[in-house]
């Protein structure tokens, strides 16, 4: 997009799960918000939405992993699908809060996109709990066991109290 903000203008040395701004811009262009409208946002506005997306993801994954998540050593990126989930949350929040005058179909598309991203985040957390999907390179929380509930032994039933 023309007049696009650079990553340094938006978050300086910080890092967000949503990745570079191209990810967010690509998602925003899929929903018709009008051309060049993203450039009307200030770096602080985008920073707020990116922090909020990170907070949502951290709160959902914090029972399993130390948060914030860390980038994978080999790629220098956050493990998939975290960046894609975050970028969709940011894009939907930008549309709902900054471009309120868009048509109903675009607003509904943004709502659906955010709901699908949150559903994918829930599926990711469920996969982590069942050990069917783990995030590579992340620090697991101590005391969290990743095992399918069906294969764990059942606890002994309580013994009756004697009189």
Q: What is the pLDDT of residues 85-139, one digit of tens each?
A: 999 999 999 999 988 788 888 889 999 999 999 999 999 998 887 778 888 888 8
pLDDT computed for residue 73 by the predictor: 86
CA 30 vs CA 55, 74, 104, 144: distances in Å: 25, 31, 15, 39
More confident call, 90 vs 25: 90
Distinct helix (H) and strand (E) counts, the chain: 5, 0
More confident call, 147 vs 119: 119
| Whole-number Å distance between alpha carbons of 105 and 83 | 25
pLDDT computed for residue 115 by the predictor: 94
Residue 9 has pLDDT above 50, yes or no: no
Q: What is the mean pLDDT of the chain?
A: 80
Q: What H or E segment, with its residue span, contains residue 3?
A: none
């Amino acid at each position: 997009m023309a007049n696009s903000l650079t990553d340094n203008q938006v978050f300086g040395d910080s890092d967000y799960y949503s990745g570079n701004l191209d990810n967010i811009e690509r998602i925003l262009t899929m929903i018709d918000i009008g051309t060049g409208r993203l450039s009307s946002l200030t770096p602080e506005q985008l920073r707020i939405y990116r922090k909020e997306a990170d907070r949502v993801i951290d709160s959902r994954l914090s029972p399993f992993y130390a948060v914030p998540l860390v980038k994978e050593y080999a790629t220098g990126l956050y493990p998939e699908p975290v960046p894609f989930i975050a970028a969709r949350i940011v894009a939907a929040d930008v549309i709902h809060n900054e471009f309120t005058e868009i048509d109903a179909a675009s607003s509904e598309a943004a709502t659906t996109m955010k709901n699908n991203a949150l559903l994918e985040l829930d599926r990711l957390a469920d996969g982590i709990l069942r050990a069917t999907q783990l995030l590579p390179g992340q620090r697991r929380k101590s005391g969290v066991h990743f095992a399918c509930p069906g294969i764990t032994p059942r606890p002994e039933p309580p013994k009756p109290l004697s009189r």
